Amino acid sequence: MQTQNRILDDLAKVASSAMGAAAGMRGEVEARIREQFERIISQMDVVPREEFDVMKAVAVKAREESEDLAEKVTALEARLAKLEGATKTTPKSTTAKKAAPKKFD
């Protein structure tokens, strides 16, 4: 019985060592893959998330300002059309014709 326990103990040690080695290999493989991804991403023209968020906020603000300006232009055009319409419907006062410029020879 003593030998069977010894064999089981040895098998348990081998299995434990194998599991430890596998865990170590797993960590090393993950580190190598992470390094490869970081190298590939650094070579790509990728914008960091913070810069993207800032530019998105700038674009939203620019769009809002553009919409506000478009509304103001529309209101001003309507106002101008109203004023032009008012001046066309009112009778013109006596207008003096301009004399033709004299030609000098």
| Domain boundaries, position 71 | 47-87
The amino acid at 10: D
Q: What's the CA gap between 85 and 19, in Å, rounded? A: 90
In this structure, the answer to whether residues 38 and 60 fall within a common structural domain is no
Does residue 73 belong to any structural domain of this protein? Answer: yes
In this structure, the answer to whether residues 34 and 15 fall within a common structural domain is yes
Q: Mean pLDDT, the chain, as a whole number? A: 83
Does residue 5 belong to any structural domain of this protein? Answer: yes
pLDDT digits (tens, 9 = 90+) for 57-104: 999 999 999 999 999 999 999 999 999 888 877 655 555 555 556 666
HSE, side-chain direction, 13 A CA sphere, residue 12:
6
Sorting pLDDT into bands at 50, 70 and 90, what band is 1? Answer: very low
Does residue 54 belong to any structural domain of this protein? Answer: yes
Place of tokens 């478009």: 70
pLDDT digits (tens, 9 = 90+) for 23-49: 888 888 999 999 999 888 888 888 889
In this structure, the answer to whether residues 36 and 67 fall within a common structural domain is no
Percentage of residues of the chain with pLDDT beyond 90: 39
Structural element, H or E, at residue 74: helix 49-89
* Long-range contacts of 32-36, Cβ-Cβ distance < 8 Å, separation of 24 or more: none
Q: What is the pTM of this model?
A: 0.43
- Into how many domains does the chain fold? 2
Does residue 9 belong to any structural domain of this protein? Answer: yes
In this structure, the answer to whether residues 9 and 42 fall within a common structural domain is yes
In this structure, the answer to whether residues 14 and 41 fall within a common structural domain is yes
